[in-house]
Amino acid sequence: MINVPEMFGSCVFNDEAMRKYLPKGTYKELKKTIEDGKALDINIANVVAHAMKEWAIENGATHYTHWFQPMTGITAEKHDSFISPTSGGKVIMEFSGKELIKGEPDASSFPSGGIRATFEARGYTAWDPTSYAFIKDGSLCIPTAFCSYTGEALDKKTPLLRSMECLNTQALRILRVFGDNTTTHVTTTVGPEQEYFLVDKKVFDQRKDLIYCGRTLFGARPPKGQELDDHYFGSIKPRVSAFMKDLDEELWKYGILAKTKHNEVAPAQHELAPIFDTGNIATDHNQLTMEVMKKVAEKHGLVCLLHEKPFAGVNGSGKHNNWSVTTNTGKNLFEPSKNPRENTLFLVMLAAVIRAVDDHQDLLRISVASAGNDHRLGANEAPPAILSMYLGDDLKEVLRSVLSGEEYVSEGKPVMQTTAEVLPNFTKDTSDRNRTSPFAFTGNKFEFRMLGSAENIACANFIINTMVADVLEDFANQLEGAEDVKTAAETLIKKTVEEHKRIIFNGNNYSDEWVEEAARRGLLNLRSLPEALPLYTSEKNIRLFTKHKVLTEKELRSRCEVLLEKYSKIINIEALTALDMAKKDIVPAVSSYIKDLAETANVVKQVAPELVPTAQTDLLRKLTNLLNCFVKKIDALDKAVVGAKDIEDEAEIAMYFKEHVLAAMQELRAVADEMESNMSAKAWPYPSYGALLFSV
């Protein structure tokens, strides 16, 4: 039997370990630092470092590393051992406060978007005491922020921490307006639901596209996809179940609150949801979760695919970012309570989010923009690239009452009448689920559903935090001087909802009518990264980020540059992989199959001349025509790739890759898939979609 409470957090220098290993006074000082966000005195840091090292060595660690999140989107680490030489050729294990607080990795090989030329290689990592250190593979991992020699953020964590600060500042002002003088700190809570695919490692290893790109670039549709809806919540196969069990245990050791696991819609697709945590820790944990998923999969002879669209024709993978705001006294500011109509503080918070989403549709879209996610948003599947909010019937009624001044008719929580006597009746949730909404209010939190499965959630969260903080600041400015806060707030809520109600949409976001309706409402529809990214550095956005000190203009521009560059590079890699597969494997395979057909046709002609023309000659003609066409498409893709070299501007390059390279890849693929459908399985050089999707 496994003892989960004992196992949970066993690899983490958490509160319990701190209490045990730190002198009482140091523990208190450290806690204060964590809670108030103050800088730590070096003497205290020395004591903490020593205790951390003792704990780490007792738990099998020999090294330490500053663990950080550069703009690649994944995590980075450089390991140093604790050893320090002594006289007599021996070593002792040492770790100082200075080493804990600050690291100096060479920053020159991380993307910086022009912030740092390679000759200014120095970068710093700085300890983030608000996220616990942990042991991974024999190294003490210290969560850190990463910046350049000149202090610019080069990572995903820094703006997230800054945005949490500014949300704290503005939300506290609102709380004070409403007479709350006890709350001293407000933080965001985040629960990211993570989708992923599992495929057999042996099958994966035979596909260059999966190896280099994480997604298939070719592949004819299998006879069966997801049309029977038989995978979603279906019983979990033994091999997957063993993986999930192992995964849970590994995550629990890291103090990650892995809670829910189930099969998802597409074959071979699954989901894991943790219990929510503060925004910063949830982000670190999600990064760690993705890493652990991959490692545990390997142990089971599987590969975990985190790409947003590994397979055409079935659902891709996303990440649902559940977000709320909570006080240090334990109050969720998005809890509507029994009578939301009378809950002015809640309505102010709600109005702030409505306005923020409407004002910053562009930023929310940008926060989830990646080459992988472009295959979902605004393409064949959902959620669409258009931002809108779902509030549910209850809040719709509240807002109707706010706007009309008429009385709010609360239905109370409706009772669900079950139809069989033996089943108990139960109360229904106040809002139904609207699975198609990109930004849905779900009871006491918002669920932002546009994130891609592989993305670092820091970006979406620092953007949500900043845009909401910005509106709260304006609200606080208006309400702080008011004589009668309640009346002033009512007026403000009404005005805000009036002005921004176009963003609320409770219907089906996947329908074509919505696309037209959204256009009539003047909502943005940014279908791809190259269309969205140029808006990142608009005047509005520069003002927003610099005003709240979340990003400087230079940092913002560099981030935009990094995203554009990454997009083009990814499509370039995909194109080169497609060309490699086409020229080296597909053309030879089809040619040799045609040769087989020709030989068989010749034999038939000699043995049974009355049967000519034969089935082989028909097929031979068809495949030869397709192959001729395929070779032309190869040529076109080759030319498209080369064409990118003449463009200088990053935004133009990205657009070029989308319009020319990606388009040429799609045309190439269509012909390949047609040939695959007409060939013997043995003659095709790669495992089929069927083998990939149904192999586990």
Tell me which residues touch ligand ADP (CB under 6 A). 189-191, 193, 260, 273-276, 320, 322-324, 332, 444-445, 447
Whether residue 239 contacts residue 270, with contact meaning beta carbons closer than 8 Å, is answered with no
Cα–Cα distance list, 293 to 110, 454, 605 (Å): 24, 12, 57
Question: Smallest distance from the beta carbon of 304 to Mg ion, in angstroms?
Answer: 20
Query: Which one, 229 or 512, has the nearer CB to Mg ion?
Result: 229
Sign of CA dihedral 376, 380, 381, 385: positive
At closest approach, how far in Å is the CB of 447 from Mg ion?
5
Residue nearer to ligand ADP on the CB measure, 320 or 669: 320
- Which is nearer to Mg ion, 193 or 561 (by Cβ)? 193
Residue closer to ligand ADP by CB (options 110, 276) is 276
CA atoms of 384 and 157, how far apart (whole Å): 28
Q: Which does 289 bind (CB under 5 to 8 A by kind): ligand ADP, Mg ion, none?
A: none
Nearer to ligand ADP, 276 or 390 (CB): 276
Least gap, CB of 332 to ligand ADP (angstroms) = 5
Residues 6+ apart with CB under 8 A from 696: 198, 199, 200, 237, 239, 240, 268, 302
Q: Which residues bind Mg ion (CB under 5 A)?
A: 193, 320
| Residue whose CB is less far from Mg ion, 266 or 489 | 266
Could you say which of ligand ADP, Mg ion, none residue 332 binds, taking C-beta under 5 to 8 angstroms by partner kind?
ligand ADP
- Cβ–Cβ < 8 Å for 619, 683: no
* Residue linked to tokens 């269309």: 531
Residue 267 partner contact from ligand ADP, Mg ion, none using kind-dependent CB cut-offs of 5 to 8 Å: none
- To Mg ion, the closest distance from the beta carbon of 159 in angstroms equals 25
Q: Shortest Cβ distance from residue 456 to ligand ADP (Å)?
A: 17
- Which listed option, ligand ADP, Mg ion, none, makes contact with residue 118 (CB within 5 to 8 Å by class)? none
Residue 360 touches which of ligand ADP, Mg ion, none (CB < 5 to 8 A by kind)? none
Q: How far is the CB of 278 from ligand ADP (least distance, A)?
A: 10
**521 near 121, Cβ under 8 Å?**
no
Q: Give which of ligand ADP, Mg ion, none residue 273 binds (C-beta under 5 to 8 Å, depending on kind).
A: ligand ADP
Q: Which of Mg ion, ligand ADP, none lies near 276, with the C-beta cut-off 5 to 8 A by kind?
A: ligand ADP
Q: How far is CA 694 from CA 196, 208, 306, in A?
A: 15, 19, 17
Distance of closest approach, residue 11 Cβ to ligand ADP, in angstroms: 21
* Distance between CA atoms of residues 51 and 63, nearest Å: 15
Q: What is the 3-state secondary structure (H, E, C) of 272-332?
A: EEECCEEHHHHHHHHHHHHHHHHHHHHHCCEEEECCCCCCCCCCCCEEEEEEEEEECCCCE
Rg of the Cα atoms in the chain? 28
Residue whose pair of structure tokens reads 């935090």 in the numeric block? 465
Token readout for 462 is 């620092």
Q: What is the DSSP code (8-state) at residue 646?
A: G
193 or 358: CB nearest Mg ion: 193
**Mapped to the 3 state alphabet, what secondary structure does 15-66 carry?**
HHHHHHHCCHHHHHHHHHHHHHCCCCCHHHHHHHHHHHHHHHHHCCCCEEEE
Q: Is 371 helix (H, G, I), strand (E, B) or coil?
A: coil
Q: Which two tokens stand for residue 144?
A: 């850190």
Comparing every residue's Cβ against ligand ADP, the nearest one is 191
**Least distance between Mg ion and beta carbon 301 (Å):** 30
Give the residue nearest to Mg ion (CB). 320
Residue 259 or residue 622: which is nearer to ligand ADP going by CB? 259
Closest distance to Mg ion from the beta carbon of 251 (Å): 18
Closer CB to Mg ion, 105 or 318, in the complex: 318
